[in-house]
Amino acid sequence: MEFMQRISHQLIDPLEEEKDEESFIVLGIYYPAILTQQQQDKKGVSGSGFLNSFFSRNDEENPDFLSDVHSRIHLTYRTRFAPIPRAADGPSPLSFHFLFRDNPLNTIENVLFNSDCFNTDIGWGCMIRTGQSLLANAIQIALLGRGFRVNEDGTGSESEILGMFMDNFEAPFSIHNFVKKGLELSNKKPGEWFGPAATSRSIQSLLRDFSECGLDECLISVSSGDVYEEEVEELLGKNENGKILLLLGVKLGINGINEYYWDEIKEILGSEFSVGIAGGRPSSSLYFIGYRNNELIYLDPHNPQPSVQPGNESLFYESCHTVNYGKLSLSDLDPSMLIGILISGRDHWVKWKESTKSSRIFNVLNKRPSDFDIACDDEIESINSDSNDNGLLVEGDYVDVKPFSQLHCNSCCEIDDSYQDVQCKKQQIMVMDDNEASSNAVDVEVEKVLVERETIDMVDGEALKLATE
């Protein structure tokens, strides 16, 4: 009880005064950088037990912070798992790209015995692993509570959760089943890199196939932070205490995250609703669980571990926790990411909805537009694409805005000076044609905009049609 009271007191209250910039924040819990006397005494305990070795990692770090990091479920690359057959028109496990990333002995074994199958996800599975980590921690919080700590409660109480993520076809949330759903829903073949959209679709489908996992539903948006109240209310109408995972794929910039969103990214990770963010650098997905100053704290899936065979589950459980975390500056963060939000019942939903009223990322709308299909196959991620160092616009880059589905005729369009209120991103966007965008006469930041119907040419007032691709 004392521990739970301490956790409740540490939960961030947005109305409280600003915390010390050096503090650590992990999924809504605040850890001061300056240790209390009790924590210093805790670290000073002599002996060779768990706590002594656990806190020897860094004498300057808060032990409660490290305990929290250690308790997050961390899923990584695995080697020598049950073979995943390649697709006839998909990547080959023997390609140069894959062969030299694995242990040479594993590579030789794979060539001899499973040359047409994938026995490891090294080089292509990092986004799946960060998606698994996000889902696993959402389930852990839903079933065991945010106050669960491995070093105090042991791994036994979460063994059933971790068993859902083992690397075989029988485990409901294994990489094998992620790949299966990726092919069915997103045309992602084994060995191909997933993006946020493919990952969220796979999670939603797998969760619906295994409803006894502890989450009642998963609602996704593959290309925006839009959440539809009608869909959430329908679920809560069936179960007032239902647990709903929201997965929101957003792109907050072109080649890098716009500084405009930095503070809100930190607010999201500092929220009691957060279950983390899957994102990272180009071609390198990471699982973000918190921040300190302007650096995000992450768990890295790129550290390969051997797959664990049935009968040795305890080894797998132990391998899913670590105190080794990384830090990434917000300025280096890829703009595409998958944000996880856990709603636990109606009161939680009302509170989260209220918190989004001033959000620049989230939008709670009454209902999904009936005449506009947003379930498109366009991937919004740039994590798996080559970076564009010259700073020019890249074909296909765009900023999603609320479709003008309510505008059924040109005559009902109203122009507010030189701007159109697109509402969705709570920004004012001025649409310019290519000639204007390339002109040096106006110093503005220009982004391509995907629209449904027509926009207005702001130079001479004539309607300018923008073809959607």
Which pLDDT tens digit goes with each residue over 249-308? 999 988 889 899 999 999 999 999 999 999 988 778 999 999 999 999 999 999 999 998
Residue 202 has pLDDT above 90, yes or no: yes
Specify whether 9 is catalytic.
no
Same domain, 159 and 270: yes
Min mean pLDDT across 212-226, 266-280, 403-417, 452-466 is at 403-417
Average pLDDT over residues 128-138: 98
Listed residues 365, 390, 406: the one ending a domain? 365
Between the alpha carbon of residue 330 and those of residues 256, 279, 327, 361, the distances in Å are 9, 11, 10, 16
Q: Do 58 and 139 fall within a single domain?
A: yes
C-alpha 324: how far from its chain's center? 19
Given a cut of 80, whether residue 24 has pLDDT beyond it is yes
Looking at the structure, tell me whether residues 346 and 234 fall in a common domain.
Answer: yes
Which one from 64, 74, 102, 126 is the annotated catalytic residue?
126
- How far apart CA 332 and CA 256 sit, in angstroms, is 7
Q: How confident is the model at residue 112 (pLDDT cuts 50, 70, 90)?
A: low
Average pLDDT along the chain: 76
pLDDT of res. 38: 60
pLDDT at position 29 over 70 = yes
379 belongs to a structural domain: no
Stronger pLDDT, 58 or 190, i.e. the higher one: 190
Q: Is residue 392 part of a domain?
A: no
Residue 405's identity, in one-letter code, is: S
Chain position carrying tokens 């250690």: 70
Stretch 33-54: mean pLDDT, rounded? 52
Residues 328-378: pLDDT tens digits? 999 999 999 999 999 999 999 999 999 999 999 999 999 988 654 444 444
More confident position, 29 or 465: 29
pLDDT of residue 33: 84
* Number of domains making up the chain: 2
User: Same structural domain for residues 402 and 467?
Assistant: yes
| Percent of the chain's residues with pLDDT above 90 | 52
Q: For residue 434, indicate whether it is catalytic.
A: no
More confident residue, 104 or 224: 224
Residue 101: which pLDDT band, with cuts at 50, 70 and 90?
low
User: Is residue 311 in a domain?
Assistant: yes
For residues 368 and 227, what is the distance between their CA atoms, to the nearest angstrom? 8
Query: Once rounded to an integer, what is the mean pLDDT over residues 169-184?
Result: 96
Which of the following is catalytic: 302, 413, 424, 457? Answer: 302
pLDDT in tens, 66-90: 999 999 999 999 998 999 999 999 8
Residues 54 and 151 in one domain: yes
Within this chain, do residues 414 and 285 fall inside the same structural domain, yes or no? Answer: no
**pTM for this one?**
0.74
Backbone angles phi, psi at 128, to 5 degrees: -65, -40
Check whether residue 149 and residue 192 sit in a common domain: yes
Q: At what angle do helices 126-144 and 175-186 cross, to 10 degrees?
A: 110
Mean pLDDT of 428-433: 47
* Catalytic-role residue among 167, 300, 334, 397: 300
**Residue 1, pLDDT score:** 42
Q: Which of 324, 340, 365 is the last residue of a domain?
A: 365
The answer on 442 and 312 residing in a single domain is: no
For residue 153, being part of any structural domain is answered with yes
Same domain for 316 and 227: yes
Active site residue 408: no
Which residues does 222 contact at the CB level (< 8 Å), separation at least 6?
Answer: 196, 197, 200, 201, 249, 374, 375, 376, 380
Q: Are 341 and 430 found together in one domain?
A: no
Nearest residue to 121 via CA among 74, 88, 78, 153:
78
Residue 139 has pLDDT above 90, yes or no: yes
Rounded to an integer, what distance in angstroms lies between the CA atom of residue 169 and that of residue 66? 33
Please report whether residue 389 resides in a domain.
no
91 & 144 share domain: yes
State the residue range of the domain holding 216: 2-365
Residue 362 tokens, joined: 């989230």
Q: Has residue 371 been placed in a domain?
A: no
- Cα torsion 118, 122, 126, 127: sign: negative
Q: Is a pLDDT exceeding 50 seen at residue 7?
A: no
Last residue of a domain, one of 343, 365, 387: 365
**Is residue 377 in a domain?**
no
Share of the chain above pLDDT 70, in %: 64
140 belongs to a structural domain: yes
pLDDT band at 35 (very low <50, low <70, confident <90, very high): low
Alpha carbons within 13 angstroms on the beta-carbon side of residue 378 total: 18
Q: Please report the pLDDT score of residue 369 as a whole number.
A: 81
Let me know whether 132 and 211 are in one domain.
yes
